[in-house]
Structure 1
Amino acid sequence: MQAFSPIVVATDFSDSAERAMQRGAQIAKQLEAELHLIHVVQPLDLYPGVDPAADFRQNHEQALHAAVKNRLDTLADNLRKDCAIQVVVATRIGRAHKEIADYAAAKEAYLVVTGARGEHTLLDLLIGSTASRLLRLATCPVLIVKNTETKPYQTAIAAVDFSPGSITALELARAVAPSAQIEVLHVYDTDHDDRMRQAGMDETFILNRQAHVIKDAEKHLDIELEKLNEGKISRNVVAAYPAAAICERAEVLRSDLIVLGRHGKSGMQELLLGSVSKDVANAADCDVLLCF
């Protein structure tokens, strides 16, 4: 019996996807989870200027589907041999981000792992990044792999803002990076202070308010970390713009993983992905794991 739900790795056979696959296999092994490799074949009608006849399109997609299945089977066999994990392969036809999200939801995946950059750079520019779109559709955490090496995580940042999604960030960081030093980071958003200054509020009041909020955040984190009683977890509270502060702190610590919560979802998916989550996912040099 598997200890965790499946780890789903999206691959387009690029170098970036290869690193995502290796990271996914590593996490699957340490969690004793099943690894699912999925590749999505893009229909010809998604390519600009292409309007193929129905029979040609069907033959093309069937041939491509068979070739992809062979490549996936080879990758799966190698992973079973090298990592001693259970591997399942799947192929779909359609828009990559939607098919991956739907597959992960159907399998009740614990985690989706994807590379930061795909194989078809020009196509990504035309229809949007698969990873970026996947973040808005996925119903489970998404790990964007950016590190050039896939050794076990050594130093991680769990960024929290005390929303339900961000609290999960620490739990997820501990699961995927069990041997890492983890810093729980809360960033007091100084944009609030700037708006108060623009409204003409007293500077002393603004600074006193900031100090009070930071002190409360430190107390809250101390209480949470005391419950865990783990020496590898520390806390830090800073005042800055959140996305920039998270990325800068990751550079200082030489972190190989940033975990942060993603806000809830509704019809306004683009907005509710959250500017902080999106900015960190784009700007960070290390792996980024977004969770609810």
Structure 2
Amino acid sequence: MSIYNKILVVADINHDAQPALARAMQLARKSKSKSHVQFFLSIYDFSYEMTSMLSVDERDAMRRGVIHQREQWMTKVAAQYIDDSIEFSVKVVWHNRPYEAIIAEVFGGGHDILIKGTRKHDILESVIFTPTDWHLLRKAPCPVLLIKNSDWPDNPNILASVHVGSENDTHLDLNDCMVEQVKNLSERLGATPYLVNAYPVTPANITIELPEFDPATYTDAVRGHHLTSMKALRQKHGIDEEFTVVEQGLPEDIIPETASKLNAAMVILGTTGRTGLSAVFIGNTAEHVIDKINCDVLALKPKGYVSPLDPNQTA
């Protein structure tokens, strides 16, 4: 399991405050071994490519000048967050697709985790324009931690959204991974770990199509199955029952409600990394949840996930 000692932080070019960098440093300081934090920015200005009056060398010089200015700015805004106990570096690249530049840097630097600040996305914007956050959730090869607030509460709670009703190997592996992560991060950040699971509501059409169907019996059976599965999972990882939540409803409703009720500082989600039309129109639970909660979100990929942007992939 990753211990997050090689951390890539995406700079927020629009603000001097850098909550993602603050969280990265918090993780790094709590590490039991030496950590390295890289502060990263991808920039691009189409006007520099269109200046036909300039030679190639002159355009290159202008780009280097812009990159140098950004490096100086990043070094300045980072000063309040860094200290001598943590290795720290700044890197700026010229690239017209930020998410591709970020993921290339993850591969190139062998980073354990990617940390980025986020904001509440408009629903239409999320679907039509597919913001950088969504690209990173789907395609980054490492865990992605999206930061909403710079302040970390006292005695925080961290939630792992597990899917205990499934017998799918991918979900089972993700459950184990999420529980290990919530335990590790809770110990590292002085938090209390919780496991949260949502189970489905009885479909209304079944009672119409099957008059003899008893929805109450069905609901009790489903709840019983989820409670039994949650018990097995928590016992496997040594978590007490009082730190588990099993509720009826959709994950995109139950997770935000539980996070709010427990005043969670972070929610850990599994994301299957879907792409194409299924991701645009259906999306992952992680993507539905992110806009509904006001805390950090850590998205994990299933074991064996291969990014479509992996440079080692053969065409």
TM exceeding 0.5 = yes
* Paired residues, number: 281
**Cross-structure match for 1:291:** 300
Report the alpha carbon displacement of residue 219 of structure 1 after superposing the two structures with TM: 1.7
CA shift in 2, pair 1:219/1:87, >3 Å: same
Give the equivalent residue in structure 2 for 1:91.
92
CA distance in 2, matches of 1:112, 1:18: 14
SS at match of 2:298: strand
Q: Is the 8 A contact 1:180 1:232 kept in 2?
A: no
Asked whether the 8 Å contact 1:225–1:233 carries over to 2, the reply is no
C-alpha displacement of 1:195: 6.0
Alpha-carbon separation, structure 1, partners of 2:128 and 2:283: 23
Picking from 195, 201, 218, the partner of 1:184 is: 195
The change in CA–CA distance for 1:201 and 1:101 in structure 2 (over 3 A counts) is: farther
2-structure distance, mates of 1:169, 1:272: 26
Q: 1:76 to 1:222 in 2, by over 3 A?
A: same
Q: CA deviation at 1:13?
A: 3.5
Other structure's SS at 1:256 match? strand
Residue of structure 2 equivalent to 1:101: 103
Matches within 5 A, 1:102-141: 102-117=104-119, 128-141=130-143
Question: 2:313 aligns to what?
Answer: none
Q: CA deviation at 1:221?
A: 1.9
| Kept in 2: contact 1:154–1:180 (CA 8 A) | yes
Answering whether residue 235 of structure 2 is matched by residue 235 of structure 1, we say no
What do the CA deviations read for 1:69-94 (whole angstroms, capped 9, x no partner)? 2233445555442x721113222221
Rounded Cα–Cα distance in structure 2 between residues aligned with 1:148 and 1:28:
15
Whichever residue aligns with residue 29 of structure 2, its letter is K
SS of the aligned residue for 2:145 comes to: strand
Q: Which one of 232, 235, 253 corresponds to residue 226 of structure 1?
A: 235
Higher helix share: 1
Query: Alpha-carbon deviation of 1:20?
Result: 0.8
Q: CA deviation at 1:254?
A: 1.1
Aligned to 2:206: 197
**What's the offset of the Cα at 1:206?**
3.6
Q: Pairwise mapping of residues 1-292 of structure 1 onto structure 2 (< 5 A)?
A: 4-15=4-15, 18-31=18-31, 32=33, 33-44=35-46, 51-53=50-52, 55=55, 57-75=59-77, 78-81=80-83, 84-94=85-95, 95-117=97-119, 128-150=130-152, 154-162=156-164, 163=171, 164-178=173-187, 179-190=190-201, 193-194=202-203, 196-197=205-206, 200-202=209-211, 204-230=213-239, 234-265=243-274, 270=279, 274-292=283-301
Unmatched tracts of structure 2, length 5 or more: 165-170, 302-315
- What secondary structure, in the 3-state scheme, does the structure 1 residue paired with 2:180 have? helix
CA displacement 1:115-158 (0-9 Å, x = unmatched): 0139xxxx999954222222122111111101241357711211
Identity %: 19
Secondary structure of the structure 2 residue equivalent to 1:99: helix
Q: How far does residue 16 in structure 1 lie from its aligned partner after superposition?
A: 8.4
Tell me the TM-score normalised to structure 1 length. Answer: 0.82
Aligned to 2:306: none
Q: Which runs of 5+ in 1 are unaligned?
A: none
Inter-partner Cα distance in structure 2 for 1:112 and 1:13: 17
CA gap 1:234/1:3 in 2 versus in 1, 3 angstroms: closer
- Is the CA contact 2:38–2:91 (under 8 Å) kept in the aligned structure 1? yes
